[in-house]
Structures are given as C-alpha cells and as structure tokens.
Structure 1
Amino acid sequence: MSDTALGPLRVLDFSRVLAGPFATMLLADFGANVLKVERPGTGDDTRSWGPPYDASGQATYFQSVNRNKTSVALDLGDPDDLAQARALALAADVVVENFRPGVMDRLGLGPDTLRAANPRLVYCSITGFGSGGGAALPGYDLLIQAVGGLMSITGEPDGEPQKAGVALVDVLAGLFASVGILAALRHRDRTGEGQRVEIDLLSSLLAALVNQGSAYTSGGTVPARMGNRHPSIAPYELVPCADHEIALAVGNDRQFAALCEVIGLPELAGQDRFATNPARVEHRAELRVLLEEQLSRRPAADWAAELSAAGVPAGEVNDIAGAFALAERLGLNPTVELPRPDGTPVRLTRNPIGLSATPARYETAPPADPGQLVLPLPGWD
C-alpha cells in the first residue's frame, strides 16, 4: 500500500501467543501484509485462552494482538503444507517465529536455509532464554519475571514477590522485535542484504530494568521491593486520602513546594530535611506521616483536582474502565472498531504511535478462525 509506512512489505508470521503476534500486529498496523500461519483446527493457543470472550464468542486475548492480519492453516508436519510454508517464506520480506531453538532448522525453515535462497530476507527469532545455554528452557512470561528479577522489586517489602498485572515481558520483547525488524529493513534498503534478528525475553527484561538495572551494574546496589515507593524520588507513591489513595509523582523541588502549598504546609518546602529530593528520600518516612495526616482530611478526587491545577503530578487510582474513560475525556481516542466479515464490530485498543503522513490503519478484525490456504494469495504471488 503506497499510502502506508510499511506497504507492501510481506511478513510471514509463524509466531503465537503474545510477543511475536504483538510485534507483527504493530507492523500490520502500518501497512505490512501479515500472513499468520496457524495450526489446522486449533490455531494459535490464545484462541482458547478465555474467559473473557466477546459477544461473538471470540477470546479477547487472541483479539488483542492479531488485527490487520490474514490467517492460513498449515500443518508443518505434512510435507505438502511444509512445502507451501517454505514457498511463502521465500516470497516474504520478513519471517517471524518463536518456536523452541532448533525447531525451524529441523523443518528446513531456519534462517540459514531460507536466507541462502533469499538473501534479502529479514528473519526474526524470539526465544525465552536465547539459543545457547538457555535454548531448552521454556519462555513463559511469569517465569521470566521471576528469574529475571522483576518480581524481586515488585510488591511490598514484607510481602511475597509479585508479577506485573499483564504479561509485560512479552510486550517488551514484541516491541524490541519490531524495532529490530525495522532496523534490519533499513539496513536492507542500503545494502540489499537481509539479516537475522534475535530477541530473547530474559535480555528484553534486563534491558527494561533501566535505572533498577544500572543501580546494580553501575552502583553495586541490589534493589529490593519497596511497594509503590520509588528508590530515588520522594514523594513518589500512593498516599491514602479520606476515601481512597491518591498517586503522587513529585519529580522536582518546584513540584514539592507546590504540593506543600496546596495541602496547607508551605513551610515544609523550606526545611532542610525536605528542601531537596535527596533529603526527602532520606527522610521519606517522616514526610509520609505528614502527608497522610493532611491528605486524609479530604477525598482523593478533590486533592487530585487541586494538585493537578497547581502543576503537581497527582491522580486517582483508576481501574481499567476508568483508565479508558480518562483517555476519552482527554481526546486521546483510545479505541478503534474493526468490522468482522458478518458486519459486527470488534473494539480494540488503538496503536499509540502517531505518524503525521502515514498513520496506523485499522482495516480488518482479527481472523475469526484459522484460515485455509488458497493459492495464489494476494500480495504473495
């Protein structure tokens, strides 16, 4: 498609569940022709991951990462289907897969084999722990969060380690995969040569630890769980009000002075123990007592409104419905509706990337069932 950023790029997607499908959906949103290869009959694992289901009976998990794609059902254990998969791979610009290391090589669909026949091919592999010593380890998001350190810094200090409320590492890996694919395509534009892109979930998580990771690598400090508090900023946490908590994210001294003014304690900003952020971090327990005493006198919504008006980052703790409602009120248009073949719509979260000339497109709902291969396929002949 000439009016899209990535048309007419052809992406053959052997991946399933979350990280790979998320990466290929991002490419599809910007015009790539993504053909999803699924198992005959059952399809992607997430087709059966429910509840919840939408009104048509489709699993909402599968829908979240598979819009703008077409689907073909191929049994890679069948010689004829395998031959068709190989033909499609050789016609592709990009192949994405997240099988265990070695599986695609045994099928004759590995990167060395395909790139020998098509040197322009960009081949992206997503694994849990890489293709070396961790090749045999299963790459489930919960496991990665546990062994990768994220759970050790999530939760209350005296409670058990906690996972994030979404499969965050899979999402991060999908984002890294899409960036890697685009970088490889840019290299191909200059040289005519494709390359292999390798993403593993553990490395993705370690890279995403950012300041917590550098606390260890550069500072020799092993971070620990602090609940909703921040290791380097105060106040940066939830504080109870008369009805429920408010989130305070005070990032500098000016914001802290404004906070003190709004809550009726302007003198705190001038005290040595609170005048600078390092001092506030050192005396965070004392500061917490004072904030709770003041904020507990009024509802969270009242404080959030006044603090926001004064330039202090503050807000109520929303549920998912409240989060989408906030985005609507702010004019962010957080959802899109895509038509199904029967005419009924499916409502999904929009792509957050805004491009002025070639914005994301929303053309087709996630495929309702694993498709049947009919050759020639538009854009693949």
Structure 2
Amino acid sequence: MTMTPGSSSRGVLDGIVVADFSRVLAGPYATMLLADMGATVIKVESPTGDDTRAWQPPVRDDQATYFLSVNRNKHAIALDLKNDDDLATAHKLLAKADVFIENWKPGGLKKFGMDPAAVAQRYPHLVHASITGFGTKGGAHLPGYDLLAQAASGLMDITGEPDAAGQKAGVAIFDVVTGLHATVGILGALQERQHSGQGQHIAVNLMSSALSGLVNQTSAYVAGGVVPKRMGNDHPSLAPYGPFAAADQSLIIAVGNDGQFRRLAEALGVPELADDERYATNPARNAHREQLRTELEARLQHKTASVWVDQLRKVQIPCSEVFTIAQGVQFADDIGLEPVQPAGAEQVPTVKHPIDYSRSKITYDKAPPALNADEAAIRYWLNTPDDDSVRLLESNVSNYEKSTS
C-alpha cells in the first residue's frame, strides 16, 4: 500500500492511491466508488478532457450532469501521453499508485509502455484493471459502447412489449454493472496483495458483465435451453408481478409466493381466488396470468393507486406506485435514505454512495473537478518523497503554494 501519511482515517480505502486513466462511465463509476470509500483517486484526462464533459444537456452551472454523476472526490490532471514530459509524469504516477484503471482499446497503451505486460514487469506492486467492450480476443476491435452490449447480449431482445421492437434500458446499465465488477475485482486484488505483496492484472468487459448481469435470463438458456422472449412488464417466472391498472394509474404488485398471493386476494376482497386451482400456486398463476390480471384489475379499478399501496403495504404485499425520477428521489428521502449528498465546498448535489459502513466513513469531500484543476498539487505530490508526503487533498495545494511563495 502506498501510504500518504499525516491523515486521519477517512474510509476503508484510506491510503490507497488510484491512477484513473478511464473515461465516460464504467471506469469513472468504479473509481468514484473507490474515492467515496477513502481512496485518493487521480483522474488523468487528455488535454481535451473526458468525453462526458461535453455530453450535455442537462447541465448544472455549465457542467454536464453526466460528468458530475461519476466524478466526485477526484483530483484532476490533464496529460498528453504523446508528450514525453507528460508520459514521464504518467509513469511517476503509476510508480506511486496502488491501482491503475483504464478503458483504452486493447493494445492502445502498448506504445506508451503502459500495457498489461509492461506494467506487470515495471510496476509489480500495481493492481491494473482494464475495461473493454468485448474482451481482447475476437471482440478486441469492437468499440465498447453500452448500447452495443445491450444489443449483443440479448437485453434489448427481452425488453419491451411482445409485439414491438426490442428496446434498450433507460440507462447505460451494463456500463454500471461493469464498473461494479471492476470495483469488486480491484478490492479482491488489493486483499490478495496483502498476502503476496504482488499486484496483478484484472480484465473486465461489457459483454461478460452483461451476460452475468442478465442472471436468470441467461441461465434460462444456458441451463434450460429456453430462449427468453419479450414480455413487456411481466415476469417469466412469477405472477402477479408487474403493473396493474388502478382507478387512476398503474401500480406495481410483486407477489413472490403463495402466502403473499393469499393475502393479496383477501385485501382485494376476493379471498376465493387463493383457492381457485387456476391461481392457487405460482405455476398455475403463470399459466393463467391474463385471466388473473382481469380478475385483479376488476377489483383495483375501484381505488386509486396510492390508496391501494397504503392498504396493501399494511398487509405486507410488495407494491409501489410508478414514480418519475424526481418522485423516486423524493421517496428515498421520505424513507430516510438521504439520497442527495452535497459534494465539496461548492455543495454540488450528488447521489449518495450506495454503501453504509457501521464504523468507516463514506466521504463527499470534493466536487467533481474542472479539467486539470489539481495539476499543481498532483505534480507537487509526485515530486515529494514518500516519507515526507502528505495526503493529496486541498492541504497539498497549500503546501505547493508555500513552496513557491
């Protein structure tokens, strides 16, 4: 572990330094999670910046909210790896870092001496995580866009109404899943390094993450020989499980077992449905799902969705209204999840880190940085001997200013 002495405990990854050469979403999402957990993350961008700085609208104070969503708690420097001095700076960073994460095209870093083989030889302590779209073999030439992974994995084919064309998810879901997989891999490699003293290379890709993230749907084919089909908002294995029309709008009912269905039937005033052979078991309900929908909606139409949600939750029936993003954030706040956390002195609103620790901290110390915002502090730190260095935070900016005054 590369320590940065002189700091108090901030999180479970306190003292870990991450050299983040990734861009767009999967890599930056992973490194933001690491930064939130206390790692010192140095975001290295090209002189033109991360692509997502220009992915707008929407914006906040002229900054793309896309970029803001995954770059909290990072320190930014712009380097042109084709420039010898900047390349030397990049290698200084790798020498002092614990983790190197990048999503360059396979082979793209070889000319800079930063490919997996060169890194393993020159920086054996380093945990090196590479993110690609479709791996480094037959799919190495394919660009790593989430939409392509959604199409190629089958997600689009199972998403949407049966009689319509397949649809993508409303977010770049496999970028996020791949970022999570990269984070898990990095944490595992750091744990193993404590025993061996050696780093290693981690490879993750959108396609493998997509097939893993499709869980029961890919298993249906791999283990059962069943090719899943589009079912709209229905579930292939559960009923009733999806949206059902109430008096004003749809509500979600998610029945996972026969006991829940019995309570649902009683709450709707039709307890006899739970004993009807068409609906008494989950396989039977699946076989008669459209008839069941008609029966349920005939009762649900007498009250609004919000009234039904209140009543059904009282008897522990899993259910929800269908919210907008704005309503979802408000709901999370109403139930005490504190979904919005201001980052840095600028108090930039960001979405809360998804993990809570009982003893360790999750931090929101630094707003997403402007391009090259921390160059002076980073260069100062890179040229300071380890035994004299301090944490690369705002304190390092002060040290730099003192040294040049």
What TM-score do you get using the length of structure 2 for normalisation?
0.91
Equivalent residue for 1:66?
71
Deviations 1:2-49 (A, max 9, x none): 342001101000000000000000000011000000111x21000010
Does residue 13 of the first structure (1) align with residue 23 of the second (2)? no
Report if aligned partners of 1:153, 1:223 keep a CA contact under 8 Å in 2: yes
Does residue 251 of the first structure (1) align with residue 253 of the second (2)? no
Q: State the 1:368 CA deviation.
A: 2.3
Q: State the 1:119 CA deviation.
A: 1.1
Q: Report SS of the residue matched to 2:63.
A: coil
Equivalent residue for 2:84?
79
Report if aligned partners of 2:95, 2:123 keep a CA contact under 8 Å in 1: yes
Equivalent residue for 1:366?
368
Q: Report SS of the residue matched to 2:80.
A: coil
Does residue 300 of the first structure (1) align with residue 302 of the second (2)? no
Q: How does 1:1-381 map to 2 (within 5 A)?
A: 1=7, 2-40=9-47, 42-54=48-60, 56-340=61-345, 344-371=346-373, 373-374=375-376, 375-377=379-381, 379=391
Report if aligned partners of 1:243, 1:300 keep a CA contact under 8 Å in 2: yes
Residue 303 of structure 1 aligns to which amino acid in structure 2?
A: W
**Alpha-carbon distance between aligned partners in 2 of 1:87 and 1:113, rounded to the nearest angstrom:** 14
Q: Report SS of the residue matched to 1:103.
A: coil
**Alpha-carbon distance between aligned partners in 1 of 2:268 and 2:294, rounded to the nearest angstrom:** 13
**Alpha-carbon distance between aligned partners in 1 of 2:168 and 2:296, rounded to the nearest angstrom:** 28
Gap runs ≥5 in structure 2:
1-6, 382-389, 397-405
What is the number of residues matched between the two proteins?
376
Gap runs ≥5 in structure 1:
none
Report if aligned partners of 2:344, 2:364 keep a CA contact under 8 Å in 1: no
**Alpha-carbon distance between aligned partners in 2 of 1:118 and 1:231, rounded to the nearest angstrom:** 49
**Alpha-carbon distance between aligned partners in 2 of 1:370 and 1:35, rounded to the nearest angstrom:** 11
**Alpha-carbon distance between aligned partners in 1 of 2:10 and 2:169, rounded to the nearest angstrom:** 38
Identity of aligned residues (%): 51
Report if aligned partners of 2:76, 2:373 keep a CA contact under 8 Å in 1: yes
Q: CA RMSD in A?
A: 1.3
Q: State the 1:118 CA deviation.
A: 1.9
Residue 263 of structure 2 aligns to which amino acid in structure 1?
A: A
**Alpha-carbon distance between aligned partners in 2 of 1:368 and 1:74, rounded to the nearest angstrom:** 14
Q: Note closer, same or farther for the CA distance 1:379–1:118 as it changes in structure 2 (3 Å cut).
A: farther
**Alpha-carbon distance between aligned partners in 2 of 1:7 and 1:118, rounded to the nearest angstrom:** 21
**Alpha-carbon distance between aligned partners in 2 of 1:147 and 1:253, rounded to the nearest angstrom:** 36
**Alpha-carbon distance between aligned partners in 2 of 1:67 and 1:372, rounded to the nearest angstrom:** 14
**Alpha-carbon distance between aligned partners in 2 of 1:379 and 1:110, rounded to the nearest angstrom:** 28
**Alpha-carbon distance between aligned partners in 2 of 1:305 and 1:170, rounded to the nearest angstrom:** 36
Deviations 1:194-240 (A, max 9, x none): 10000000000000111111100110000010000000000001011
Q: Report SS of the residue matched to 1:376.
A: helix
Deviations 1:109-159 (A, max 9, x none): 112212212211100000000011111101111111001110111100001
What TM-score do you get using the length of structure 1 for normalisation?
0.96
**Alpha-carbon distance between aligned partners in 1 of 2:99 and 2:117, rounded to the nearest angstrom:** 14
Q: Report SS of the residue matched to 1:234.
A: coil
Report if aligned partners of 1:12, 1:37 keep a CA contact under 8 Å in 2: yes
Residue 346 of structure 1 aligns to which amino acid in structure 2?
A: V
